[in-house]
Amino acid sequence: MDHSIPIVSALDDIYAGNLLQHGARYQALTEAFVKAYGAMPSFIARAPGRVNIIGEHIDYCGLPVFPMAIVPDCLIAVKAVGGSSVKLSNVNTKFPARQFDYRPGNIVDIDESMHDWVNYFKCGYKGALEAIAGAASPVGMLCLMDGSVPISVGLSSSSAFVCCAVMATMRANGKLLSQERVVETSVASERYIGTNGGGMDQTTSIMSQSQSAAFIEFSPMLRVTPVKFPSTTPPIVFVIANTMVESDKAVTAPTNYNLRVVETRIGALMLAKHLNILEHSACANADPLTFKTVIDEFFASSYPSDCDSLVLKWTKRLTVMLERAEALFATHPQGFTLDECAGYLGVSTGDLAVLVHTDRYPVRAARFKLLQRAQHAFSEALRVVKFRQVCESGDTSDKCFVALGDLMNQSQASCRDLFECSSPELDEVCEIARKAGSFGSRLTGAGWGGCSVHLVRQDGCDSFIAALKQEYYLKRFPELSDNDLEHVVFATAPSSGAAIYVFN
């Protein structure tokens, strides 16, 4: 069953607290819109950022993840007007105003080589019009954006912007689709700027529920299960700490993010051949083939899907896959060359590029580390399932802190050693955090810099944040003011997902 994007006229339907602060922000955005365009906006589209609690770099493998939406968000105030031109401004003057015109045929030109902030809006605009079949006669749009999600730090600021642009364009053109279709459209749209993602960021931003994290499954169909954290005494709190090292996913994609996607896709193809299922229709027709499809097909006939609990089923399947992957890939611990991968599969390197989409999203690597990437993907998925199991166990004792924290610490080690997406700064923050009282500390987002997330007791949260400021920020970034630090390291709670705010 599809679910609708909420249409709200009260901020307490979006935010759980600090309503005066949020109200002042919406009022300031509205007043700035009137000043810029001489008219009131018709609505404000809102899409939050997210923090991934556990399950890193496995959404594009089709494997489950465990993120939650956060309060920082992207807002776009919008008014539909005559014509088909789009004017876009930002309350942050760092981002210059832009204007573009609808073009019959390709809708809008997007130059991936120009890393301009307007490209994120353009790709959402293009994807939305394609999805609603509104490309023939779209309305003109006046737009003003206000974003509070920190940029390029792993909290999904770019995906929140794209989701918001998709909703804004759909609503302005009178055809706001379901949550599921907005997610699908947003994922496809972001690929217009060269980001080959898996859907976690967009799903979390659109479909999250207040006070709950989200257990997200992508295959064989998108399914989001709200999961509450254990009701411990004192409560569990998550602290986000920005390393202040920016990692622009779009800029570094060929050697970082997109390369990891490609390594898992080549791994899936070779594993399917190793398991003698590559010619099965489920694998042969997959575009692209993912580890989850390989798992489902391998166990399709020999292992009924409903015979065990969720945890037991995943444990058995992932353990077998890990053993098979290690048997295949351990012959090349330093990685495979492209020619070796193509040779194993019996295809040309050009055909392999089409199968894993490097014809559209180029990558740069001398060798593909398939062993390490598979080890991370399968073990990380198992950690996600175990994390959910602890949350739903009913246990509210101190053991929850340790159990959940251990899984997060194991995830960080795997991201650092097997997936190689950590950084010296992330490693340092996590080490300081554990000494300061964190039960579990790990990178969050794509990695290679950006943010970390830490599980702490609420009664120790203030002292924990103070220790991070003293041991990391004041030593590395002494120029940061107290106000700056409030936006760099902070406690967070699960937020609601996307919404359209309309004026009374």
Active site amino acids: 201
Dihedral sign, Cα of residue 271, residue 276, residue 277, residue 280: positive
Q: Please measure the distance between the N-terminal and C-terminal CA atoms of the chain and give it in whole angstroms.
A: 30
- Give 47's strand partners: 74
Measured in residues, the chain has a length of 504
Let me know: does 45 contact 17? Beta carbons within 8 Å.
Answer: no
Of the candidates 119, 121, 122, 125, the one whose C-alpha atom is nearest the C-alpha of residue 138 is 125
Q: DSSP state, 265?
A: H
Longest dimension (CA), the chain: 67
Q: How many CA atoms lie within 13 A of 405 on its CB side?
A: 21
The answer to whether the beta carbons of residues 80 and 176 sit under 8 Å apart is no
Q: Other CB atoms closer than 10 Å to residue 330's CB: what's the count? A: 11
369 phi and psi, to 5 degrees?
-85, 75
According to DSSP, the residues that pair with 73 across neighbouring strands are 48
Per-residue HEC secondary structure of 310-370 comes to HHHHHHHHHHHHHHHHHHHHCCCCCCECHHHHHHHHCCCHHHHHHHHCCCCCCCCCCCECH
